Structure 1
Amino acid sequence: MFQIPENVPYGRIYYVTREKQVSHGATAHVEQLPSGHVVKYPKSNPYSPKKEEDHRRNMRIEAGIYQLIGDCPYIPRMIDWEPESCSLTLEYLEGGDLAKYMRETAQIPGEIRQRWTLQAAAALSALHAANIIHCDFAPRNFILGANLDLHIADFAGSSVAGSTPTIAAGPRYLPPGWSWTRPVQQTDDVFALGSVMYFIMVGEEPYADLSEEDVEKKFAKAVFPDELEVYTTATTWARLGSENFFPIGLR
């Protein structure tokens, strides 16, 4: 059993988890409770009260988004929110995150992939209808339920009603011209949706063999993978019922 050393080097932080750890990020712990639900709470930082408060603020933003959206089939159900500890309890979705599932599953039927693309678009539509821009709309933030239905999660860095986000998706999910210095736009998420659909249908990120810098250069020239147009067909978009979902570069 691991024990925290008596002399902890300055700057290093050891965390003692409350329950079974499910996942963790840069700002929060995610653990499974005896009830089966999961709890997400901010990481402490004894070296930087400001960073710790930033983590708590992010949790308040995330909880507010769950409360704002309410019941939605494409978003995990909120069970409880404790303002004092900034602890958010959510339903547990046992399928895990989409990126990991696709890496570990050899054969995924085409009809499931097509269903995921529609559910990803529907999830984005629900967010934008509530004036929320996710800002990190990527496969790692999609979670699968028991029936392999797709849910979007992790809103800690999102923009609400035009607020400044604290996170951005990687270059493969950002449109040409994106910058921290300009206001966030819904079209940023829409572009990311196109890359998510590509990942779902092809099984890898756009230009997976290139560096992020080279991907940025291609996107800046509106050069996109050929498969992107093949898999985001007119039939799929017609079923969505709105041309607003077309990723930039495919209209």
Structure 2
Amino acid sequence: MDKTIPDLATAVAGIEDGMTVMIGGFGGSGAPIELIHALIDRFLTTGSPKNLTVVNNNAGNGHVGLAALIEQGMVAKLICSFPRSADPRVFTELYLAGKIELELVPQGTLAERIRAGGAGIPAFYTPTSYGTDLAKGKKVEEFDGRSYVQERWLKADYALVKADRGDRLGNLTYRMAARNFGPLMCMAAKNAIVQVSEVVEPGSIDPETVVTPGIFVQAVVQVANPAQEEVLNRANAVYPEAAE
């Protein structure tokens, strides 16, 4: 029942070529920077994983975190709602060069598709995107005189999530807006790997404050002082750093 993992490298060791990986975060809020960088380290050492499908709210910023993952050529397809963020140059250049595929999903629809995956709901209907290019090729039905677009669930092999506190059983709390997609992604993935600022003993977290129950979490790794994407970008950080 102890789900703690000793280090980041071990935490991401099971992610293989061609898998679908959900990555938490709303911009830099809740982005699991250290888990993403550990995945890059593994790729640079072993050449794997690659050809990943990544589900995230946006397309990364600067040259750290998700943007760094994309820059290494590890991502074949990105499913997101907001590819044009503060500094999306890495994704934009690769997309215009035809080197990465994009599936654009309205933000509320993205969250609901992930939630549906976790709840075992294979499809649902929403009026969002009806009559736009995003609805092309999708089934449309009319309910009470209004047209709705059918959307399919989203599931993943892995989810990489950042939480605030977690106990050894995987019960999690989040810090403010860093909660965003994390709880949904833990439910929708076969394997939820979570970095937390603090690992505590079972019973230390008030059950009333648990957001993600441990049943949805497969691994917890402590990162006591997690990096913040915006801080890294203001410092013009690049990952991995160039060799001297």
Q: TM-score, normalised by structure 2?
A: 0.22
- Normalising by the residue count of structure 1, what TM-score does the alignment of the two structures yield? 0.21
Q: Which has the higher contact order (CA 8 A, sep 6+)?
A: 2
Which of structures 1 and 2 has the bigger CA Rg?
1
* Structure with the higher fraction of residues in helix conformation: 1
Q: Which has the higher strand share?
A: 2
